[in-house]
Structure formats: C-alpha cells, structure tokens
Structure 1
Amino acid sequence: MVRPTVFILLFGLFLSPIKLLSQQLNFTVTINSERARTQDTDIFDQMKSAFEQFLNGRNWTDAELKPQERIKGNLLITINDMPQVGIFNATVQVQTVRPIYGSNYESLILNFADRNWTFEYTESQPLEFNQFSYLNNITSLLAYYAYIAIGIDHDSFSPRGGDPYFEVANNIVANAQQSSSSGWNQNPSDKRNRYWLANDLYNSQVMVPVRDAYYLYHRMGLDLLTTKPSESYQNIVEAIKMVQEANKVQPNSILTISFMDAKSDEISKILKAAPMELKEEAVEVLLKVDPNNARKYNDILKG
C-alpha cells in the first residue's frame, strides 16, 4: 500500500512537468545600469532575475508548449536615471524571434523601442499582476509586452490569430491610464508609444493589412522558402505591398515602423535571390514605405 504522503509526492512529481509545458515565453533580460549612479549594483541582478521569472515563469495563455516551442525574446533595459532610491527611468528594446519551418533560422518578428519606462522596484519586491486592474507600472509594462509578443507570434502562424492577446494588451493600456506614468495615453505628440501600438494591433481597421502581412510574410513566405521558393518570394513581396497599402492611408504609423524595423535587414538579404522582376517590384514599394533604408533596398538589385 502506498502511503498518502508518498502518493502526494508522486502525484506532485507527475503534475510538475505539465506546468512547465504550459509556459509560453523564453525571454532573456539584459540591464545596462551604467548611468544609474549607484553603488548598489546588486539591485540590478535581482531585477534581472525577477523580471525573467515574471515573464517566463507564468502561464499567459492556455496553450501547452514544450520548452523549445516557447517564444524567444530579449528585453534590453537601459537605465537612464535613478532620481531616487527604488525609482528608475529607462529605455527598453523589446525583440522576439520566430523559428522558420525546415531550417535552423530564427526570424526577428518584433523589434520595438520604448523610451518611456518609469517604474518602481525594490529588493525582493513581489511582482503581482492582474489583467483586470492596474496594480503597478512595472508589472503592467512587462505583461503588456508579453501579450504583444504572443499576439504577433500568433498572427504570423494564423490569420489574425493574435486577437485575444492584443485584446488583453489593449485592456492593460486602458487600466494603466489611471496612473501618471507616460506611454499609456492617447498623446497626439507621441504616436510611437504603447497606446498607439496596441491601438494599431487591436482597434485600427486601417492597420489590418499589416497584421495580415505578418501571416503572409512568415507562414506563406519564409516557411515555404526551401520547398516552394517561387511562391515564397511572391508572397513576401505581396506582404510588403500590404504594409504599403496601410502606410498610404496612415503614413508612419507605429505598427508599420515596427514591422519594417524588424524585417528590413532580412528582406534585403532574402530578396537578393528572387527573380529580377520581383526584386524590382519589391524595391519600388520598399523605397516608398521605408525610405530611410533606401541604400539597403537598392542593394537588392545588385544580387
């Protein structure tokens, strides 16, 4: 007969892998604290560990994923100032990648710079989050980008598959507007903040072609590159046209900028092997939607 205590132990061991399988993120947090002007550098080691545990150690969705299937990402935090103990002003770069079918290649899918992180953090501070109410700025910031990352990843695998995650991100924005923290509000002079990104992804009909482009570019483009290259190149170019379509109606939206920031290097390399007719067609569109990278795109024509 198995003793009750032993049974509970075995039962717990049996269940523990299931919990591990249901976590969705695999983020690495890097903190540059050179500007913080503090001798207490241990706080940043604790911060790194706490932020990684918050992002990677909880279940953001009901999906059950194996460790190798989790969404890989980087959170690059540069502390710009520490006006008083426990309060930080920072600039943050959020990046995530997506594996490409039939290869070892990982495609950069989200590359977003957020210049307005102001948050409080103290040693051993518990990081609590409730998607239905605003508790504090740091967990709202981290959770917001968790849902944005998951939503964009889902958009790349199925048409507008990110809807439920963008809805939560949009709700986080709405709840955070009660705070005095920057980046959460509909500021017409700052259209590159968290409010506008969530709005473009969830509320804006004008930006729907960009969301559709994530699917066409990745699932019907990059994922087919080794098996159906002609179809793949055509779909990649069509995806770029969809981004340009949205850009015509709403020039320089944060979602268009974010898409091109993530894909510009990749596009310039991949399309060099495309047929010349497609390359010329793509470059003509790219120069309109992302003129700042004109030199990069003109190099496509050189093969």
Structure 2
Amino acid sequence: MKRTTLLFLFWLAAFRLSAQELNFTVLINSDRSRFQNTDIFSQMKTNFEQFLNGRSWTDDEFRPEERIKGNLLITINDVPQVGIYSATVQVQVVRPVYGTNYESLLFNFADRSWNFEYIESQPLEFNRFSFLNNISSLLAFYAYISLGIDYDSFSNRGGNPYFEIANEIVNNAQQSGRPGWVQNPNDRRSRYWLINDIFVSPVYSPIRDAYYLYHRQGMDLIQIDEEKAYSNILEAIRLVAQANKLQPNGIFTISFMDAKGDEISQVLKNAPFEIRDEAVKLLLEVDPNNAKKYNELLRS
C-alpha cells in the first residue's frame, strides 16, 4: 500500500513538472555595480529561475520538450545601499521551427527601468490581483508576455488570455509609482507602453497577426511549401509596415524588428526577386537604421 502511494506521488510530481510551461535561464551581470557580495547574485539567479520555471502559468499541459525557452539577462547597474538594486533587463524568447533544429528569436526587449529590493533567502510571492513587490510583478509580467507571444505565433491572437493578465499586472503595479509601470511619454521602452501597444491599442494589432503569419504560416512551412511561406512572410512584413505607418516607432514595432530583422535578412535571401524587392521597400520604411542589411537582399 505504501509503495503504491509513493509511486502515485512520483507520478503526480512528474505530471506537475510536465505542466510547467517555461524553461528560462537567468543571467546576472554585476560588474558595473562593483558590489563585493557576489554570492547574493548566485542566490538571486536560482531564486528567479525557480520562480519562472517552477510554477504553472496556464491550464495547458506542456511536455518537457515543449516548454518555452528564453533568457532573462539582468545587468545590475548600482547597489545604492544593501538590499536595494538598480538594474536593466533584457528578455529573449525563442521558438522552434517545424521540421528543423532551428530556433527562431520571437521576442527581444530591453527594459531599462527596474529598481527592486532583495534580501537573502527572500521568498517570492505573486498575486495577479495585487502588487506585492517589484520582483515578482516584473518576472510574472514577462512570463505572461512570453506566453502570449508564443501562443500568438501558433494561433492567430492566441495569446489574448496571457496578455490580459500582463495588463492586469501593469494596472496593479501602477499604485507603486515605480518606473516602468506608469504612463510616461518620455519613456516609451517601458512595461506600460509594451503591453499598451501589444494588447490595449488597436493600432498595433496587425503586428500580432504578423506573428502568426510569419511563424506558423511562414517559417513552419518553408520545408513544405517554400512559395507559400515566402508569400506569408512578406504579408507579415506588410502588416508591420501598416501599423508603423499609423503610429511610427511604436515599441511593439521596434521589438518585432529587434527580434526578426537579422532573421528576415537571412530567410529571404533565397526568395524570388519580386518578394525581396517589396520586402526591402517595406523594411526600409519600418527599420531605416538597418538599411545596409536589408539592401543586401537585392544583391543576393
């Protein structure tokens, strides 16, 4: 009887593990801070990874190989006093491409305004309905953003439930008055503007459609139907350009191009000239700073 119970508990633990959705690596660079106690950053890394990877964020079941891979790159800029940290965060999420070993960069975003308090052995608690602290709110926010972007890439606007929760987190965190959570027209690279552009503002909704077209109907089809795949990737670029024309230089547009710019310039090298020609014209409108990279497509 005892053996049966133990076997059941092991099975249940394995099932719960398979239900976890994220597989994130946290990297912490504290060189700029010149803070001597580096042990705290090792503990911080472990604690943050456990928070992201050790819980279930959705009701869906994920096999271990299906977990969403990503990186959280934290740069500690200053430690003004013990337990107080000023940092920047870069969030990267990747997605496998069907039928290949290639992983496509889905999301690449630099968050420049994160101040938080952390003490040794601090438990990280999270409540989606209230703001508890500036660590769990930020980590949960990017967990749901990552889920939303990933789900959008597999089904058209499939990330709605997760973007809705990310928006709730921002609304709850505004009471804290902390940078990044509040509406600041002088800081467009913030959590507030990111979720506003992704989920609240209808202006940028074509970019969400572009995620699905580009990945599920584009990258995933290249091995099966190259012509259709290139056509859908071009249509995705058209949608991004459409949003950019309505509201230039939105953070969601910039985030899309930061993630996809290099990949587009490689993937379209083998596309028909008319596809490349139109793509370059659109890309130069959306991302003129990388004109040299895109113009190379016309010389392929």
**2-side partners of 1:179 and 1:139: how far apart?**
13
Amino acid aligned to 1:295: K
Large movers: runs of 4+ above 6 Å: none
Amino acid aligned to 1:204: S
Q: Give the one of 70, 73, 78 matched to 1:76.
A: 73
Query: Alpha-carbon deviation of 1:6?
Result: 3.8
Residue 212 (structure 2) pairs with residue 229 (structure 1): no
**2-side partners of 1:287 and 1:6: how far apart?**
66
Query: Alpha-carbon deviation of 1:7?
Result: 3.9
C-alpha RMSD over aligned residues? 0.8
Residue 76 (structure 2) pairs with residue 85 (structure 1): no
Residue 190 (structure 2) pairs with residue 204 (structure 1): no
Alignment of 1:54-133 (within 5 A): 54-133=51-130
Residue in structure 2 matched with residue 149 of structure 1 by the alignment: 146
Secondary structure, in 3 states, of the residue corresponding to 1:178?
helix
**1-side partners of 2:164 and 2:266: how far apart?**
34
Percent of counterpart pairs with the same letter?
66
**Number of aligned positions between the proteins:** 300
* TM-score normalised by structure 2 residue count: 0.99
Residue in structure 1 matched with residue 217 of structure 2 by the alignment: 220
Query: Alpha-carbon deviation of 1:63?
Result: 1.1
Query: Alpha-carbon deviation of 1:123?
Result: 0.6
* TM-score normalised by structure 1 residue count: 0.98
Secondary structure, in 3 states, of the residue corresponding to 1:207?
helix
Residue in structure 1 matched with residue 43 of structure 2 by the alignment: 46
**2-side partners of 1:33 and 1:76: how far apart?**
11
Structure 2: 5+ residue runs without aligned partners?
A: none
Amino acid aligned to 2:298: L
**1-side partners of 2:33 and 2:184: how far apart?**
28
Residue in structure 2 matched with residue 166 of structure 1 by the alignment: 163
Residue in structure 2 matched with residue 192 of structure 1 by the alignment: 189
The answer on whether the counterparts of 2:112 and 2:189 sit within 8 Å (CA) in structure 1 is no
Secondary structure, in 3 states, of the residue corresponding to 1:281?
helix
Query: Alpha-carbon deviation of 1:35?
Result: 1.7
**1-side partners of 2:34 and 2:284: how far apart?**
43
Structure 1: 5+ residue runs without aligned partners?
A: none
Query: Alpha-carbon deviation of 1:204?
Result: 1.1
For residues 191-221 of structure 1, give each alpha carbon's deviation from its aligned partner in whole angstroms, at most 9, with x where no partner exists. Answer: 2210011111111111110000000000000
